[in-house]
């Protein structure tokens, strides 16, 4: 038991287990489900003499949007310059306003990152980074959804819902040859049941596989439709769930078109079909390193601005 504790409960290993689970296990399950549905649907369509084109179009969109999602993680970069303008009396939780080129820019201190970060960024405890305009941490894709990868996230969800729906429809079509979905056999479409039936040798292996794809596919359709709607709402509304929940006023809010263009870029509509485009990504504002100093009089560490 002690050995077990030493190996699995040490903070370093706990971090590692959390890291693996958060960033790899769920995303791998996703990838497996997408691949399974794609290849099975393509095989079924080819078997029926039909063109499998859409079977590859959807996964291509899903994979490319996923890659783009991870490539543009919207982590607030650290500026090599020092914080512009010294301000006095900045305590740990204060916000700070600066006038840069006649524009008011607001910052706040993030102590885990040791940075002054743009006001709309938030620290993600799973990624351990400050993310610019953090929408939420997405467990299914493994990383945070922020300003830059928001559009890829929304398109991923849209195509995941469409592609999975397309696949589940075809697999269901074949599965209903073997089991009557409207009668008493409908319970065979419930994954744990068919798994037990398979172990008892009353169902075939391929049925277990098909029902796995159908059940988890249906779940994926519901989740991705929900997430796509939430994401679209965030984009058009111009604020994040974090800000909505706390009634934080967002200054860069425009009309729906303006909000859409800010996230998707000027050629935004092209992103609906092309995940990879040669246009620059949305801007991610920089953060500035906090220089901590020990303040003898107050017996504690304060930022350089505070001393
Ligand atoms: Zn942070
Ligand atoms: Zn995160």
Rounded to the nearest integer, the mean pLDDT of the chain is: 86
Distance CA 248, CA 240 (A): 10
Tell whether 176 and 231 lie within a shared domain.
yes
Answer for the pair 33, 220: CB distance below 8 angstroms, yes or no: yes
Q: At residue 229, does pLDDT exceed 90? A: yes
Tell whether 125 and 258 lie within a shared domain.
no
CA of 125 to the centre of ligand 1 (A): 8
Tell whether 140 and 159 lie within a shared domain.
no
Q: Closest-lying ligand to the alpha carbon of 287?
A: 1
Tell whether 23 and 128 lie within a shared domain.
no
Helix (H), strand (E) at residue 97 = strand 95-100
Prediction pTM value: 0.85
Q: Is 39 exposed, middle or buried (0-12, 13-18, 19+ CB in 10 A)?
A: middle
Tell whether 255 and 109 lie within a shared domain.
no
Answer for the pair 292, 300: CB distance below 8 angstroms, yes or no: no
Tell whether 130 and 174 lie within a shared domain.
no
Residue numbers of the domain that contains 193: 15-72+149-276
CB atoms within 10 A of CB 6: 10
> 182-192: per-residue pLDDT in tens?
888 888 899 99
How high is the pLDDT of residue 218? 96
Tell whether 160 and 68 lie within a shared domain.
yes
CA of 289 to the centre of ligand 2 (A): 21
Tell whether 173 and 233 lie within a shared domain.
yes
Q: At residue 69, does pLDDT exceed 70? A: yes
In the chain, the number of structural domains is 2
Tell whether 103 and 173 lie within a shared domain.
no
Tell whether 157 and 224 lie within a shared domain.
yes
> 122-180: per-residue pLDDT in tens?
999 888 899 999 999 998 888 999 999 999 999 999 999 999 999 999 999 999 888 88
CA of 110 to the centre of ligand 1 (A): 5
On whether residue 4 sits in a domain, the answer given is no
């Amino acid at each position: 038991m002690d050995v077990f504790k030493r190996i699995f409960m040490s903070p370093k290993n706990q971090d590692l287990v959390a890291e693996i689970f958060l960033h790899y296990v769920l995303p791998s399950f996703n990838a497996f489900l997408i691949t399974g549905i794609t290849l099975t649907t393509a095989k079924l369509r080819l078997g029926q003499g039909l063109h499998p084109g859409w079977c590859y179009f959807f996964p291509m969109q899903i994979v490319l949007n996923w890659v783009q999602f991870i490539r543009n993680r919207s982590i607030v970069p650290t500026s090599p310059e020092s914080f512009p303008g010294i301000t006095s009396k900045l305590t740990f939780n204060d916000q700070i306003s600066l006038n840069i080129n006649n524009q008011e820019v607001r910052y706040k201190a993030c102590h885990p990152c040791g940075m002054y970060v743009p006001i709309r960024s938030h620290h993600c405890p799973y990624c351990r980074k400050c993310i610019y305009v953090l929408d939420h941490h997405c467990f299914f894709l493994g990383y945070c959804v922020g300003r830059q990868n928001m559009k890829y996230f929304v398109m991923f969800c849209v195509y995941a819902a469409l592609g999975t729906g397309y696949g589940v429809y075809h697999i269901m079509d074949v599965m209903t040859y073997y089991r009557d979905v409207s009668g008493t056999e409908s319970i065979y479409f419930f994954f744990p049941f068919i798994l037990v039936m398979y172990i008892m040798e009353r169902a075939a292996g391929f049925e277990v596989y098909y029902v796995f794809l159908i059940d988890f596919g249906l779940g994926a359709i519901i989740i991705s439709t929900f997430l796509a709607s939430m994401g679209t709402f965030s984009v058009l509304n111009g604020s994040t769930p974090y800000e909505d929940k706390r009634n934080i006023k967002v200054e860069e809010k425009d009309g729906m078109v303006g909000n859409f263009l800010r996230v998707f870029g000027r050629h935004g509509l092209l992103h609906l079909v092309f995940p990879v485009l040669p246009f620059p990504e949305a801007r991610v504002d920089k953060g500035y390193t906090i220089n901590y100093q020990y303040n003898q009089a107050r017996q504690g560490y304060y930022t350089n601005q505070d001393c």
